[in-house]
Amino acid sequence: MKILVIAHAHPDFSVGGAEIAAYNLFKALERRDDVEKATLLARTDHPSLGPGTISLRRPNEYLWRQDIGDWFRLRSAYQNTLYVSLRDFLREKKPDVVFVHHYANIGVEMLRELRTALPDAFIALTLHEYIAICLRNGQMVKNKTKRLCFRESIEECNICFPEYAATDFWLRKHYIQKHFEYVDAFVSPSEFLRQRYIDWGVPPEHISVIENGQPKFEFDEAEVPRASRNRFGFFGQITEYKGVEILLQAMHKMRPEIRKSMVLEIHGANLEFQGQWFQDLIEKLRTPLIAEGSLRWVGPYEPHELPRRMRKVDWVVVPSIWWENSPMVIQEAFCCRRPVITANIGGMAEKVKHGVDGLHFEARSPLDLSDIMTQALTNKGLWGQLQNGIRHPPTYADCAASYLSLTHI
């Protein structure tokens, strides 16, 4: 069969989890004997391409210039190009199966055009967060207050965005759902996200859970035994939703003698692109910890550097303050055989089993995170017990096989 993978970005230009998952699926499909040809079509906003243009990046990998013109309805900025360049591309490639790994930055109308140009193809859409449900960046966090949002309703959406009427949100929901009807199957990387979309209106029999695939890391060096497993690490984007400030506040709440017996490393990027208030908060929190020696601000990293860096710490901390779906960093930590300390909400709580392969703390609570990190430091046998409970996530090949099982071809 011939398979097309569509992504909302290419990892050459963007390193988010969804685009990396899409690219890894594409490469795994390329390696299968039962796939005649796999093709990747990745959205870009690179100015070298005109609106709607599709250009070859490398063999079987194409870039497609698209943008969103209406984030409220998730509509494309270049409507006419959907009818011309995309349709021509699809008729040339003639895929039997299309795996769509997002519609953000592209537009939900793409789903209609896929069905129009490929009436007999199998189309599956992977849902990576809650953007169809929630106008606030798909995070299901209350506007202004940043409180967690536990359910979708047009009334509550209207409270978050009073510039839109409640009827506008009703129309938005049904507009998106109408385009979702062109899809044969949905994929969710977590059961938590699956249930959110079922509550929103996706029939439960049409949505399956398939975890994103991960590599099999090979390490030349053996695990170094240490008397104290006292090294903690954060890996990822430094934004106001990833909870770095919660982690730093937790450090400040530790007893000084406990804090001085440990080291926290921050491996991350993009702090300079956040609001000034957030930059000032992080600076205020990190400066005394760095001076004390309990914090090392290591900085950004390339994907190939992650395994080596992660193996140098003992615990990976994931303190996000929103309903993460399936954070790639948790799977990466398990590939490196590192227990995870994570917030007890969303896909984070699902992926990490408390007391088995990691520890949970009360989301958004620096005090509880401080207690859990202290427990990790002082309970001498805990690290080994949790490491023994780690199971390797599905591989790229496992993930590709699960996707193909949906097609019944």
Residues 18, 102: Cα–Cα separation, whole Å = 8
In a domain? residue 169: yes
In a domain? residue 371: yes
Instruction: Report the pLDDT value the prediction gives residue 220, as an integer from 0 to 100.
Output: 66
Q: pLDDT tens digits, residue range 237-248?
A: 999 999 999 999
3-state secondary structure (DSSP) of residue 220: coil
Residues 321, 323: Cα–Cα separation, whole Å = 7
Contact 18, 213 (CB under 8 A): no
Pair type for strands 263-269 and 185-188: unpaired
Residues 86, 197: Cα–Cα separation, whole Å = 28
CA-nearest of 77, 10, 3 to 42 is: 10
3-state secondary structure (DSSP) of residue 65: strand
Instruction: Report the pLDDT value the prediction gives residue 14, as an integer from 0 to 100.
Output: 84
Residues 175 and 79 in one domain: yes
Amino acid (1-letter code) at residue 270 = N
Residues 236 and 195 in one domain: no
CA-nearest of 89, 103, 76 to 9 is: 103
Read off the tokens for 208.
Answer: 């399956």
281: left (phi over 0), alpha (psi -120 to 50) or beta: alpha
Q: For the residues 209-224, what does the mean pLDDT come to?
A: 82
Instruction: Report the pLDDT value the prediction gives residue 81, as an integer from 0 to 100.
Output: 83
Residues 104, 74: Cα–Cα separation, whole Å = 7
Q: How many domains does the chain have?
A: 2
119: left (phi over 0), alpha (psi -120 to 50) or beta: alpha
Strand order across the 358-361 sheet = 295-297, 263-269, 231-237, 315-318, 340-343, 358-361
Residues 275 and 383 in one domain: yes
Instruction: Report the pLDDT value the prediction gives residue 223, as an integer from 0 to 100.
Output: 75
In a domain? residue 218: no
C-alpha distance across the termini of the chain, in Å: 8
In a domain? residue 226: no
Residues 150 and 239 in one domain: no
Residues 314 and 200 in one domain: no
Residues 288, 291: Cα–Cα separation, whole Å = 5
Place of tokens 């039962």: 34
Q: For the residues 381-391, what does the mean pLDDT come to?
A: 96
Residues 249 and 298 in one domain: yes
In a domain? residue 219: no
Residues 200 and 246 in one domain: no
Instruction: Report the pLDDT value the prediction gives residue 409, as an integer from 0 to 100.
Output: 47
The 10 Å Cβ neighbour count of residue 37 is: 15
Read off the tokens for 279.
Answer: 């930059």
Pair type for strands 54-58 and 61-65: antiparallel
Residues 340, 348: Cα–Cα separation, whole Å = 10
In a domain? residue 277: yes
Beta strands in 105-159 (DSSP E): 122-126
Contact 177, 197 (CB under 8 A): no
Over 50: is that where the pLDDT of 302 sits?
Answer: yes
Over 80: is that where the pLDDT of 15 sits?
Answer: no
Residues 398, 345: Cα–Cα separation, whole Å = 26
Q: Is 205 exposed, middle or buried (0-12, 13-18, 19+ CB in 10 A)?
A: exposed
The 10 Å Cβ neighbour count of residue 203 is: 9
Residues 198 and 331 in one domain: no
Residues 373 and 399 in one domain: no
Q: For the residues 137-145, what does the mean pLDDT come to?
A: 90
Residues 240 and 103 in one domain: no
Residues 88, 5: Cα–Cα separation, whole Å = 16
Calculate what percentage of the chain has a pLDDT beyond 70.
Answer: 99
In a domain? residue 145: yes
Q: For the residues 302-324, what does the mean pLDDT come to?
A: 94
Q: For the residues 344-369, what does the mean pLDDT come to?
A: 97
Read off the tokens for 287.
Answer: 């400066």
Identify the domain containing residue 23 by its residue range: 2-213+395-405
Residues 198 and 265 in one domain: no
Over 70: is that where the pLDDT of 70 sits?
Answer: yes
CATH code for position 136: 3.40.50.2000
Q: For the residues 401-406, what does the mean pLDDT come to?
A: 96
Instruction: Report the pLDDT value the prediction gives residue 210, as an integer from 0 to 100.
Output: 96
Residues 141 and 255 in one domain: no
In a domain? residue 220: no
